[in-house]
Amino acid sequence: MEKSKKQRAISGIRPTGKLHLGHLIGVLDNWREMQENFKCFFFVADWHALTTEYDDPSKIKVYSKEMVLDWLAAGIDPEKGIIFLQSDIKEHAELYLMLSMIVPIPWLERVPSYKEIKEELTNKDLSTYGFLGYPVLQASDILIYKADVVPVGIDQVPHVELTREIARRFNNLYGTETFVEPQAKLTVTPKLLGLDGRKMGKSYNNCIYLSDPREVVSEKVMHMMTDPLRVKRSDCGDPEVSIVFGYHKIFSPHEKVKEIGEKCRTAQIGCVECKKELIKNLWGYLEQFQFRRSDISKKWKDVDDIFFEGGKKAREFSSKTIKEIKEAMKII
Ligand code: TRP
């Protein structure tokens, strides 16, 4: 396929903490595949981080840089996709401002994550203008590159849907076809659950971090939930309800998964033995990642270089779109 005919894809992660296994398996593996066939824009959503971390933003910078090293170790390649820092591209903010003029407040109030996150993060005051506007900023990220697809998890689908509505509203209002309506592309990888069976997430305290050393990984696996109905070693288990078995499916060889499943059902293997096998395989995988991570951090002493180069490329697109927007609105 010719380079310019490639579909465009955009996705970002908020730098609010260290990345965990759910990011690697759910998000970054997907990005790595997409960078082969799409024109990809991968960015660090540091302004989005501010919507919830405004009371202590000092760590955002460090997390941003650390996160990009994780991306590189996961095989995201700055030669293939454009890696950049959201706040380096002022056009996101400019479009955000313009879109804020045309987005009705009720559209924002009914976005499910608005209520959910407010209820979840009770220790933060999220009754701010910026937090309500979160999806408008996200729409700007997407629309400014006229992205065709947005690879995201299921929780982000309403944001992409809203982005489509905003694009339509803009195009109708100004009688143009400036914006492309993007599609969400759901991650196909089976979702990796947290240690307790909920979605893996920092605020649930149920993560295996990409930087966890072997002892920590082992301890976490040892505390993972198995089949709660299998009380005694001699009881037969149901591997399908065990979190540990879900991990085996991702990190253990196919044959081993089959064997463990059968042995669990017939009480030939106990949970401790099963977990030890997982620790071996999971650690093998993570250790490789950590080797690559440490090599890469030696090579890229300064992630700012990556942001600088990626920023230049991103700006080529974003500045063009801003010009088109102003033309459509006849304010140029
Ligand atoms: N809201 C996304 C999340 O929390 C992060 C994000 C911000 C994003 N802007 C985006 C994702 C644009 C895709 C496209 O995961």
* 89 Cβ below 6 A of ligand 1: no
Of ligand 1's atoms, which has the minimum distance to the CA of residue 141? 12
Same domain, yes or no, for 138 and 282? Answer: no
How many domains in the chain? 2
The chain-wide mean pLDDT, for the chain, equals: 95
* 246 Cβ below 6 A of ligand 1: no
In terms of phi and psi (left: phi > 0; alpha: psi -120 to 50; beta: otherwise), the region of 296 is alpha
Is residue 200 situated within a structural domain?
no
Same domain, yes or no, for 84 and 53? Answer: yes
Higher pLDDT, 119 or 56: 56
* 44 Cβ below 6 A of ligand 1: no
Is residue 19 situated within a structural domain?
yes
Q: Which residue range(s) make up the domain with 77? A: 8-193+302-329
Same domain, yes or no, for 75 and 184? Answer: yes
Tell me how far the alpha carbon of residue 148 lies from the centroid of ligand 1, in angstroms: 15
Is residue 52 situated within a structural domain?
yes
* 226 Cβ below 6 A of ligand 1: no
Is residue 203 situated within a structural domain?
no
Same domain, yes or no, for 239 and 152? Answer: no
Tell me how far the alpha carbon of residue 313 lies from the centroid of ligand 1, in angstroms: 20
Chain position carrying tokens 């106990």: 270
Cβ–Cβ under 8 Å, residues 29 and 189: yes
In sequence order, what DSSP letters do the residues of 171-200 get, joined into one string?
A: HHHHT---PPPPEEEE--SPPPBPTTSSB-
Rg of the Cα atoms in the chain: 22
Tell me how far the alpha carbon of residue 138 lies from the centroid of ligand 1, in angstroms: 6
C-alpha 308 chain-centroid distance: 22
Is residue 42 situated within a structural domain?
yes
- The pLDDT value recorded for residue 120 is 84
Same domain, yes or no, for 74 and 49? Answer: yes
Q: What is this structure's pTM?
A: 0.94
Same domain, yes or no, for 36 and 144? Answer: yes
Same domain, yes or no, for 284 and 312? Answer: no
Same domain, yes or no, for 106 and 26? Answer: yes
Confidence of residue 189 (pLDDT cuts 50, 70, 90): low
Confidence of residue 119 (pLDDT cuts 50, 70, 90): confident
Tell me how far the alpha carbon of residue 30 lies from the centroid of ligand 1, in angstroms: 15
Give the CATH number of the domain where residue 178 resides. 3.40.50.620
Percent of the chain with pLDDT over 90: 87
